[in-house]
Amino acid sequence: MKRIFSNREIVLGVTGSIAAYKACEIASRLTEYGANVTPVLTKSACELVGSATFEAICGRAAITHMFAPLQNPDVEHIAVAQRAHLYLIAPATANFIARATHGIADDWLTTTLLATRAPILIAPAMNTNMYEHPATQENMQTLRRRGVYFVGPDSGRLACKTIGPGRLIDPMKIVEACVPLVSERHDLKNVRIVMTSGGTHEPIDPVRYIGNRSSGKMGRALALEAIARGASVTVVTGPSEVAMPEGALAIPVETAAQMAEAVVNLAQDADVFIGAAAVADYRVETPSNSKKKKSGKKLDLTLVENPDVLGLVGAVKRAKQILVGFAAETDDLLANAALKLKKKQLDLIIANEVNTDVSGFGKDTSKAALIGRDGKVDDLPLLTKEEVAERIMDRVVALIHAA
- For the annotated catalytic residues, the residue numbers are 160
Q: Which is nearer to ligand PMT, 245 or 275 (CB)?
A: 275
CB atoms within 10 A of CB 253: 21
Q: Does 194 bind ligand PMT (CB under 6 A)?
A: no
Eight-class DSSP state of 221: H
Alpha carbon distance 86, 34 (integer Å):
14
**At its nearest, how many Å lie between ligand PMT and the CB of residue 390?**
15
CA distance 250 to 75: 41
* Of residues 184 and 241, the one with the C-beta less far from ligand PMT: 241
Q: Is 296 exposed, middle or buried (0-12, 13-18, 19+ CB in 10 A)?
A: exposed
Mapped onto helix, strand or coil, the DSSP state of residue 376 is coil
For residue 200, count other CB atoms closer than 10 A to its CB.
28
Which lies closer to ligand PMT via its Cβ, residue 107 or residue 202?
A: 202
Angle at the Cα of 162 from the Cα atoms of 159 and 167, rounded to 5 degrees: 55
Dihedral (Cα; 357, 362, 247, 38), 10-degree rounding: -50
- Is residue 237 within the footprint of ligand PMT (CB under 6 A)? no
Q: Is 216 in the site for ligand PMT (CB under 6 A)?
A: yes
Q: 3-class SS at 273?
A: strand
Nearer to ligand PMT, 123 or 280 (CB): 280
314 binds ligand PMT, rule: CB under 6 A:
no
- Contact between 328 and ligand PMT by CB under 6 A: the answer reads yes
Of 193 and 277, nearer to ligand PMT (C-beta) is 277
Question: How many residues sit in the footprint of ligand PMT (CB under 6 A)?
Answer: 28
Position among 261, 308, 378, 394 found at the interface with ligand PMT (CB under 6 A): 308
Is there binding between residue 325 and ligand PMT (CB under 6 A)?
yes
Angle between helices 385-402 and 217-228 (to 10 degrees): 50
Which of helix, strand or coil describes residue 25?
Answer: helix
Contact 343, 308 (CB under 8 A): no
Q: Show contacts with ligand PMT in window 331-390 (CB under 6 A).
A: 340, 352, 354, 360-362
326 touches ligand PMT (CB under 6 A): yes
Q: Which of these segments, 177-185, 217-225, 226-234, 314-322, binds ligand PMT (CB under 6 A)?
A: 217-225
| Residue 387 neighbours by CB under 8 Å, 6+ apart | none
Task: Between 77 and 220, name the residue whose CB sits nearer to ligand PMT.
Answer: 220
Cα 136 to the center of its chain, rounded Å:
27
* 310 is an interface residue for ligand PMT by CB under 6 A: yes
Residue 279: CB minimum distance to ligand PMT, A: 3
Q: Which residues bind ligand PMT (CB under 6 A)?
A: 196, 214-219, 256, 275-279, 281, 306, 308-310, 325-328, 340, 352, 354, 360-362
